Amino acid sequence: MLKLIPVPNSVKYENGYFQLKKDNLNDNNILKNNIANDIEQFANGFGIFSFWKNKENLTVSVKDDFSILGDEGYRLKIDENGILIEAYKENGVFYAIQTLKQIVVQCGEKLPFVSIEDKPRFEFRGFMLDVGRYFYTVDEVKHFLDLMAIHKLNKFHFHLTEDQGWRVEIKKYPLLTEKGSKRSHTNFGCVPRSGYYTQEQIREIVEYAHSKYIKVIPEFDIPGHTVSAIACYPELSCFNRKLDVATHWGVKHDILCAGKESTYKFVYDVLDELAELFPDGEIHLGGDEAVKMRWDICPHCQAEIKKQGLKDSEELQQFFMTKVNAYLNKKGIKTIMWNWDDIKPTEHLDPSITWNLCASTEASLNCIRGEMAAGRDLIVNTTFPYYLDFPYGWVNLKFAYEFNPVKGITEDEMKHIRGVEAPLWTEYVSNMKKAHYMTFPRLGAICENAWSLPEQKDWQWFCDRMDMYYSLLNVYGVKPATIKQSMPSKFVGAFSSLWFNRRMLHWQGLHNLIDDAIVKAKAKHN
């Protein structure tokens, strides 16, 4: 029996095997561009490239007749005539190839006769990489895109701006990368950290993602998580404060001022350049952890609250995000933003803004339902278990696999669930070795939630497929956590959780307390 991840919708076996043949070039037009390059990349890593080049091995048919499969579905048949792929769009062919890779990893040159019909459960199957805390090179980002592809994930959420670093070149504001991309040290050492992507490198990454049938969603996090920008342009803050790029983790209280027109000009200018670099029609605006202490005492923000007839600073943020969303909508771009466990009804937040939903409490469900009734769409990336940076003692492999991302959602409400996303925050993930360890095998569990039908899932069957999955990861140079490491004992899990919590301790809380007192005193004096 074939061991495939994510498990396909339908797999039917027949007696017999097809022997892959060698030599001769494949003359199938659809395999001359992106898909052929993907096959070559895989085959070179596995030492089987010649198998894929033979025109007797593989036939591809892309026709309107197969529209029932949708844009990403496919049929894959292996019999005495060779390998046949049928799909409505090239995306479907690409995903059939990903399945075929796994069959080759498991079976080598001798492929069993099988008929597979498959298509995804959700249209949005995402992975987020945070490069704001620790910078990852272009080649490392491409590596993640390769790994997304074999998991049949199709949305790359690129978290580009943070308190600790600004990572994308904006030509109108050169200091954002000249200064904002650098910090003197981190929580865990005195080593300086820096790095950013030129606009040409961004285009290279986007083009590479598209070759894997992945759309790229950049994140420009506002109004919070913007210390790296304020450090470059102090006038963006409420009190023109001179700050350094943040070194340590923790929620910062200095955020963009929502009462100055100059702030909106800055935001719009940045979005103008991002819109040119990222053509896939969606931009993430962050919106999380925006502490309103500065806004509550800022004369500009308070004047804006009064002018717009708002109740408080919370409503000011809704107004702020809606205003920026309207700017993007005029460009034909849709907006996504974060939301958390403390979500409340949003009278002033445009319902066309998709929520990246981190909320995980039952108490938030009624609010979520109200938002969906108003027309809001959701992407589920619930903190537990989809945050890949969390230790396995908090989120083990079984928890990630068995989690139901749409628990409590009615069939009628399902039309507002776009899909799921797994974020890799990098406060504690400073290099690829650690990134591999934290991400895999959990991403295999999450991708099955994103792609496969719920009735096809089975924990024991998932475990039985791990040997094939680890072999596939090995082809791509990944050293994942072992099964034992991803399913720690209670003692080991408790220790790892304690260690993770210890590392989360920092002076940010005390700093905020003292800093807030200083800001309040100056504001009162002025």
| Predicted pLDDT at 24 | 38
Q: In the predicted model, what is the mean pLDDT of residues 446-459?
A: 96
| pLDDT over threshold 90, residue 75 | yes
| Predicted pLDDT at 281 | 98
Of 381, 385, 342, nearest in space to 364 by CA: 342
Question: Torsion over CA of 386, 391, 393 and 396, rounded to 10 degrees?
Answer: 40
| Predicted pLDDT at 316 | 96
Q: Which residue carries 């949003």 as its tokens? A: 346
| pLDDT over threshold 60, residue 23 | no
Q: Say which range, 108-112, 220-224, 305-309, has the weakest mean pLDDT.
A: 108-112
CA angle, 283 then 230 then 274, to 5°: 25
Of 41, 33, 10, 26, nearest in space to 93 by CA: 33
| pLDDT over threshold 90, residue 249 | no
CA angle, 162 then 168 then 171, to 5°: 125
Could you tell me the pLDDT band of residue 27, with boundaries at 50, 70 and 90? very low
| pLDDT over threshold 50, residue 26 | no
d(CA 243, CA 241): 6
Residue 199 DSSP one-character state:
H
Q: Say which range, 91-95, 263-267, 325-329, 421-425, has the weakest mean pLDDT.
A: 91-95
Compute CA distances 425 → 247, 384, 434, whole Å.
16, 13, 12
Question: For residue 144, what are the contacts with CB-CB under 8 A and spacing of at least 6?
Answer: 127, 129, 136, 156
- Which sign, positive or negative, has the C-alpha torsion 365, 368, 374, 379? negative
Its pTM stands at: 0.95
